[in-house]
Amino acid sequence: MSKIMAKIGSLLSVLLLALSGSVMAAPQQNAIDTRSMTVAQLEKAGDEARAQKDYYQAIEYFRAALRKDKKNSVLYNKVGLAELRNNDLKSARQDFEKSAKLNSKYSEAVNNIGAVDYMRKNFGSAAKYFKKAVALEETRATFHVNLGAAWFSQKKFERAVMEYARALELDPDALRQNSKVGIAAQISSPEERAQYSYMLAKIYARRGDTEGCLQCLRKAKEDGYRNLANVYKDEEFARMRNNPQLHEVIAPPTVK
């Protein structure tokens, strides 16, 4: 499997940043006196702990910072991300909500509320928050990817295609990498993954990205997509039908 498809596969495994990792054991009590640290120092320490996947410690640092600065929307978003990594969805959503309440234009916090709802399979609510995030910052490709996944999970495929296409306009690699901020949405069942890959193949074909299209078709085939023969019917693939590489993936129909 190519590196590109490995990246695409990661989008389908857990909301944006592979969040399905096991909960870490609680560390020993921190000996550092956080009372003597400034908000900036605590935030930096929390960032470092989160980078090291020590989510309990990160939460402690962010909480200590919030005791000193109770109206810091960025800190609430950061502690929410650490809680989400620690599989505490309830606390994470509460803190994302506090972040968005303090700053109604904070698109990342709004997106992350939607991410929690997506993980809970509340796709309608997830789409609502992803739409809000898109409205706040339309040029963020990640938000369009997430909204596309929410539409896809509701079987609103045309809407999903529109969002994925817009994401690719903003960032040609949007569907080939994990989000660097917030959380990217997941698709879990093999049948949905196959359908998702075929849909992406259409988008790449429409954009003239032959390599991306072929790799998505291979992934759809691996996951057992039943209607692969439609590449010789669907208009998006018209320019590729004489491509020998396509024939290697999906044999052309025999002429009677």
SS3 17: coil
**Percent helix, strand and coil across the chain, each to the nearest 5:** 65, 0, 35
| pLDDT value at residue 41 | 95
Nearest residue to 8 (alpha-carbon basis) of 189, 163, 174, 205: 174
| pLDDT value at residue 183 | 56
CB contact burial 61-90 (16+ within 10 A = b; e otherwise): bbbbbbeeeeebbbbbbbbbbbbbbbebbe
Nearest residue to 99 (alpha-carbon basis) of 57, 69, 137: 69
Q: What is the pTM of this model?
A: 0.79
Tell me the pLDDT of the chain (256 aa) as tens digits. Answer: 444 444 434 343 334 433 333 334 444 444 578 888 999 999 999 999 999 999 999 999 999 999 999 999 999 999 999 999 999 999 999 999 999 999 999 999 999 999 999 999 999 999 999 999 999 999 999 999 999 999 999 999 999 999 999 999 999 888 875 444 455 556 667 888 888 889 999 999 999 999 999 999 999 999 999 999 999 999 999 999 999 999 999 999 885 5
Side-chain half-sphere of 136: how many Cα atoms within 13 Å? 18
| pLDDT value at residue 174 | 86
Task: Please name the residue that has the structure tokens 């609510």.
Answer: 125
